[in-house]
Chain A
Amino acid sequence: MNTILFNPFERYPEKKLLLIGIICTSLSIYLASILDAHFDGAIDVHLVNEIVHIKSPLIESIISIGCLVLFIFIAGKIYNSKTRIIDIFVTVLIARIPLYLILPFNINHYYSELALSLAVDPNNLQNLPQETLLKTLVFSLVIFALVIWFFMLLWNGYKTATHAKGAKSIVLFILAIIIAEIASKALLSLAF
């Protein structure tokens, strides 16, 4: 069970993972357009209170996934020349699945409206009914757990693809994510 949830890259062939990854990514683009969410960065998901056309999550996903794959692959190649791009591509596609599970939190704009009301008036937190406050806390904890799960999958996939051991591989991995995030933000600002 642990292998399936946290390190499917150790056991399952890349073709199977690639298929699952493509299906989930396609589904996430469709869901983002229905539930109004943006993938505006390599490691970002933002639930919004506005109508999102399918074109936005499609372009955002291509740029976000592309940047992550490119920079993690470069990091992998620097660390281990035997690193294959298909393993990194599969890693990124599968690792992003937990991020897609954040999307249902915006059914009826629930989370985005709550976030907006808190952004306008942070003191509003004290005026919220206890039930809403509890829901917000639970949702935030679940979202935090999903983000941790995303990073665990990304690291485990990178580790398997590059045979990573030691500090050098960790530093390269962190650098690759930071550069991918900056590059994707820059490209997205040009695209929209």
Chain B
Amino acid sequence: MKKLPALCPSCEFALEVSELSCESCGTKVSGNYSLPLLLQLSPEEQQFLLDFITSSGSIKKMAEQLGKSYPTVRNYLDDLIEKINNIKNH
């Protein structure tokens, strides 16, 4: 599966969607659309969030799944919350 780039490989500025197309009829929509917040996270961070939701938001369960300790997972989550807040405030 191709990895969706969120940052410009040249200047590292946030990329925007400029074209969307319909696979069925070939219609194309052009414009400038911001990437949704979740897509601006790295694939690992997106996976972490999905795992967090599917484990009912339990850090303890997440720690067991990832083979990490409770504070390590909580620290990772805190870093992720900080990153999301930074993206939102940007």
What residues make up the interface of A, taking CB atoms closer than 8 Å to B? 9-14, 82, 84, 87, 160-161, 163
B63 touches A163 (CB 8 A): no
Of the candidates B63, B67, B69, B78, the one whose C-beta lies within 8 Å of that of A160 is B69
Of the candidates A11, A87, A161, the one whose C-beta lies within 8 Å of that of B68 is A11
A84 touches B71 (CB 8 A): yes
- In the bound complex, residues from chain B placing their C-beta under 8 Å from that of A14 are 69-70
Residues 14-27 of chain B: 1 if any A CB is under 8 Å from the residue's CB, otherwise 0? Answer: 00000000000000
- CB<8 Å pairs between A and B, sample of 27: A9-B71, A9-B72, A10-B68, A10-B69, A10-B72, A11-B67, A11-B69, A11-B72, A12-B69, A13-B63, A13-B64, A13-B69, A13-B70, A14-B70, A82-B74, A82-B78, A84-B70, A84-B71, A87-B70, A160-B69, A160-B71, A160-B72, A161-B71, A163-B71, A163-B74, A163-B75, A163-B78
The A-contacting residues of B in range 35-80, CB under 8 angstroms, are: 63-64, 67-72, 74-75, 78
Nearest-neighbour CB distance to chain A for B75, whole angstroms, equals 4
- In the bound complex, residues from chain A placing their C-beta under 8 Å from that of B69 are 9-14, 160
Question: Roughly how many angstroms separate A161 CA and B78 CA in the complex, as a whole number?
Answer: 13
Question: Roughly how many angstroms separate A14 CA and B71 CA in the complex, as a whole number?
Answer: 9
4 nearest A-B pairs in the assembled complex, by CB-CB distance: A163-B75, A160-B71, A10-B72, A161-B71
Nearest-neighbour CB distance to chain B for A88, whole angstroms, equals 10
Question: Roughly how many angstroms separate A12 CA and B65 CA in the complex, as a whole number?
Answer: 12
Question: Roughly how many angstroms separate A14 CA and B69 CA in the complex, as a whole number?
Answer: 7
- In the bound complex, residues from chain B placing their C-beta under 8 Å from that of A161 are 71
- In the bound complex, residues from chain A placing their C-beta under 8 Å from that of B75 are 160, 163
Nearest-neighbour CB distance to chain A for B76, whole angstroms, equals 9
Question: Roughly how many angstroms separate A82 CA and B63 CA in the complex, as a whole number?
Answer: 17
